Amino acid sequence: MDVSIITVNTNDGEKLLPQMESVQRAAVNIAYEQIISDNGSTDGSLEKVRTQFPHAIVIENGKNIGFGAANNAGHAKATGEFILLLNPDMRLEPGSLKVLVDWMRSHEDVGIVSPKLVAQDGSIQKDALPRRFPGLLDQLAIVLKLSHVFPGLLNRYVYKGFDPEKEQDVDSVRGSFLLLRKSIADRLGWIFDPRYFIWFEDVDICREVKKMGFRVVYTPIISCVDYVGQTFKRFPSVQKQQWFTKSMIAYFAKWEAPWKAVVLRIARPVGIVLTWIHSKV
């Protein structure tokens, strides 16, 4: 098996089925399996998956166990040389999977690779570009909404001036399209550290991969349509902020000096209140 594609589904049938159709077109001359790890969907999407894509492996988690845990459940079933994490709101190019798998096989020092993520019209999805590892100042700016007033505070974090047409090493890539060597996940015992419910799990695995001595690479060798954030729009802003900041603190507690996590814990309630106020305006 060349690649195991893991997709987490939480009532995402409207996006998931077209994504699976694009996977079929993308997986030309390659052996693949698609694993749907379902977080308690009630929209009938699993029934449609089983009818329209009988080859798919369906895991029913019974409830929303989180993005990280659902991907880890998929890892437990995966048999491919590589694992592709692919969100429901993605559309692959025909024939693109073999191109990327062949690229990985010719770059044995690369642990994770991600391609150019674009909007439906082909323009670059700026919100989907790689990011530097989070720093305390830029994350405080995000939590306290300072970046809305002073966007320059995030220049370091967002790789200001990033050239999306250039293949390059990066700190981290989005978990919406992340191709990983299964051997790495097997060594760790998971794809995503279980401490993350959602958010920062993709940053964390990139850091783990670099710690092992592998590279994390962005390449424009293929592109993929990314409907950024579509799968999370239905969740309330305050709920998303709670998840986001909880994972942010977990990340800093794991990787940075302890006092930095303390600072973020103090800032977190302020950020949640600001999010609530913004949602009411």
**Which pLDDT value is given to residue 231?**
64
Whether residue 174 contacts residue 133, with contact meaning beta carbons closer than 8 Å, is answered with: no
* Paired residues of 128 in beta bridges: none
pLDDT in tens for each of the 281 residues of the chain? Answer: 999 999 999 999 999 999 999 999 999 999 999 999 999 999 999 999 999 999 999 999 999 999 999 999 999 999 999 999 999 999 999 999 999 999 999 999 999 999 999 999 999 999 999 999 999 999 999 999 999 889 999 999 999 999 999 999 999 999 999 999 999 999 999 999 999 999 999 999 999 999 999 999 999 999 999 998 666 677 899 999 999 999 999 999 999 999 999 999 999 999 999 999 988 87
- Taking CA atoms, 30 is separated from 23, 109, 113, in Å, by 11, 22, 18
Whether residue 190 contacts residue 66, with contact meaning beta carbons closer than 8 Å, is answered with: no
Give pTM, 2 decimals. Answer: 0.96
What is the Cα–Cα distance from 88 to 7, expressed in whole angstroms?
6
**Which pLDDT value is given to residue 279?**
87
Please indicate, yes or no, whether residues 34 and 100 belong to a single structural domain of this protein: yes
What is the Cα–Cα distance from 140 to 117, expressed in whole angstroms?
27
Please indicate, yes or no, whether residues 95 and 13 belong to a single structural domain of this protein: yes
Residue 264 lies in a domain: yes
Residue 125 lies in a domain: yes
**Tokens encoding 4:** 């195991």
DSSP E strand boundaries for 213-277: 215-226
Residue 255 lies in a domain: yes
Structural domain span for residue 197 = 3-129+164-229
The residue count of the chain comes to 281
Please indicate, yes or no, whether residues 60 and 198 belong to a single structural domain of this protein: yes
108: domain CATH number is 3.90.550.10
Please indicate, yes or no, whether residues 125 and 58 belong to a single structural domain of this protein: yes
**Tokens encoding 120:** 């439906």
Q: In total, how many domains does the chain have? A: 2
